[in-house]
């Protein structure tokens, strides 16, 4: 086991070393090995030149003090020996400091050398860290089809701000203003988007608020007859103006649940088209035919679910009031997708897109081999909607590529639309008066 060096042993060894003793003689004096004494003195910074040179055995050796007592040199020896020992200690400390300074200087020189090499490398390399733009794929060689979803307009609905604590209002004037804003946004998006060869307008039902029931009509601020007349005047001009931004306009429509016949709590499949929505679509078709607008065509059917084709994409169209199951109707959506896939698979016409309205929320979900879209409404939040999460009034515009299917989708928000002072549509005085936001002011002027 290694023996610890005491301060007394170390000082004895130093004085003996200064007196010329060999390592072996010092080891015998303090009870240590020659190698141990040698390593200790060398590690302390003393020269090993004469550590191994033992004096002759027959020569008289200096007589150090006993091992158990410190060395007691004579006064002359104490002066000389103490001076040499102190000098050796000072030399050792000086040597350690010199070594530290030398090591620090070497490290600084090495760092400076590495930095100089790095600077030279960077100057020679001239690295270019710019990122190349991603490759642009070839555009579709065939024009797209645009699909505009229009539903849950609820023209004639009046929502007082007091019913929603000022958070939402709705009126016939705001309904007409939002329809005009939708028209302008569709024109802008079609001008900026991919080239199209047709615009497919899908009316999703609930176009007016009233029902053909005098008991329900009592609750209406505007009678259903005026709602119907105002709706066909506004929608006819809406469709005709879209011809300016689309080579042709194709119209499809399903009936909702608000314009149903009296005493029908839930709209049945049979006779579903016999409500105000179906009457509006038929009237619009007659007006377009009478006006000779050949760019607009109608495909009106009696079925509550209609499978239509846009390019190579199959779209299943329905109002959606029968969808049930949770806050976002996921249960009803899954049943609708499952049943329709089974229904049309044997015909080889499995839907790629499912489109509904009714829920007043804008929602898109990936399902089966396509996606399920729930269109928003023109109304947004109202007194009835306070039971649910708040929603923003909006409508949806899609682009369908003949090679890639649905490629783009735009949600057109209507929440910041304000009522203009002058009606954007041409209306007879009786209907123009309905759009006057302030009864104390004169009615709208015809454009």
| Helix 276-291 with 224-242: angle, nearest 10 deg | 50
Which residues lie closer than 8 Å to 372 by C-beta, 6 or more apart?
Answer: 333, 336, 337, 353, 354, 356, 363, 364, 365, 366
Q: Give the DSSP H/E element, type plus range, for residue 329.
A: none
pLDDT band for position 383 (cuts 50, 70, 90): confident
The Cα–Cα gap between 286 and 278 comes to 12
pLDDT in tens, 309-325: 999 999 999 999 888 87
Residue appearing with tokens 């709705």: 170
Tell whether domain 144-435 is in CATH 3.60.21.10.
Answer: yes
pTM of the model: 0.68
Backbone angles phi, psi at 251, to 5 degrees: -115, 130
Query: What are the sequence ranges of the domains in the chain?
Result: 7-91, 144-435
Judge whether 319 and 356 are in contact, CB under 8 Å. Answer: yes
pLDDT in tens, 248-291: 999 999 999 887 766 555 655 677 767 899 999 999 999 999 99
Token pair belonging to 359:
């829920």
Q: What is the mean pLDDT of residues 213-241?
A: 81
Nearest C-alpha neighbor of 150 from the set 311, 314, 310, 376: 376
Backbone angles phi, psi at 41, to 5 degrees: -70, -40
pLDDT in tens, 234-259: 999 999 999 999 999 999 999 998 87
């Amino acid at each position: 086991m290694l023996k610890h060096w005491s301060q007394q042993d170390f000082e004895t060894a130093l004085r003996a070393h200064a007196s010329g003793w060999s390592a072996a003689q010092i080891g015998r004096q303090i009870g240590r090995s020659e190698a141990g004494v040698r390593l200790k003195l060398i590690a302390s910074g003393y020269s090993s030149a004469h550590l191994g040179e033992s004096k002759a055995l027959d020569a008289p050796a200096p007589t150090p003090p006993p091992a158990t007592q410190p060395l007691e040199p004579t006064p002359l020896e104490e002066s000389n020996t103490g001076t040499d020992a102190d000098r050796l200690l000072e030399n050792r400390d000086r040597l350690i400091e010199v070594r530290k300074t030398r090591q620090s200087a070497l490290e600084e020189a090495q760092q400076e050398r590495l930095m100089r090499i790095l600077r030279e490398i960077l100057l020679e390399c001239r690295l270019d860290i710019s990122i190349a733009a991603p490759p642009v794929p070839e555009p579709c060689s065939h024009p797209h089809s645009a699909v505009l979803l229009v539903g849950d307009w609820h023209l004639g609905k009046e929502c007082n701000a007091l019913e929603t604590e000022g958070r939402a209002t709705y009126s016939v004037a705001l309904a007409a203003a939002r329809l005009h804003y939708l028209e302008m946004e569709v024109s802008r998006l079609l001008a900026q988007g991919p080239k199209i060869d047709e615009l497919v307008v899908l009316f999703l039902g609930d176009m007016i608020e009233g029902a053909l029931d005098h008991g329900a009509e009592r609750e209406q601020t505007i009678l259903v007859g005026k709602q119907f007349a105002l709706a066909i005047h506004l929608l006819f001009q809406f469709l005709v103006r879209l011809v300016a931004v689309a080579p042709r306009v194709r119209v499809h429509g399903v009936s909702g649940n608000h314009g149903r016949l009296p005493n029908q709590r839930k709209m049945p499949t049979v006779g579903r088209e016999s409500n105000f929505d179906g009457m509006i679509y038929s009237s619009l078709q007659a007006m377009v035919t009478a006006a000779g607008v050949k760019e607009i065509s109608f495909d009106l059917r009696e079925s509550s679910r209609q499978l239509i084709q846009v390019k190579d994409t199959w779209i299943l169209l329905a109002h959606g009031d029968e969808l049930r199951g949770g806050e976002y109707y996921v249960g009803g959506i899954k049943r609708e997708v499952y049943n329709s896939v089974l229904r049309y698979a044997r015909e080889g016409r499995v839907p790629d897109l499912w489109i509904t309205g009714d829920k007043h929320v804008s929602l898109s979900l990936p399902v089966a081999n396509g996606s399920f879209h729930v269109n928003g409404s023109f109304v947004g939040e109202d007194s009835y909607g306070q039971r649910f999460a708040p929603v923003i009034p909006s409508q949806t515009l899609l682009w369908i590529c003949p090679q890639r299917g649905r490629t783009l989708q735009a949600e057109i928000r209507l929440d910041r639309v304000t009522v203009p002072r002058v009606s954007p549509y041409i209306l007879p005085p009786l209907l123009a008066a309905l759009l006057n936001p302030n009864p104390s002011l004169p009615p709208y002027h015809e454009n």
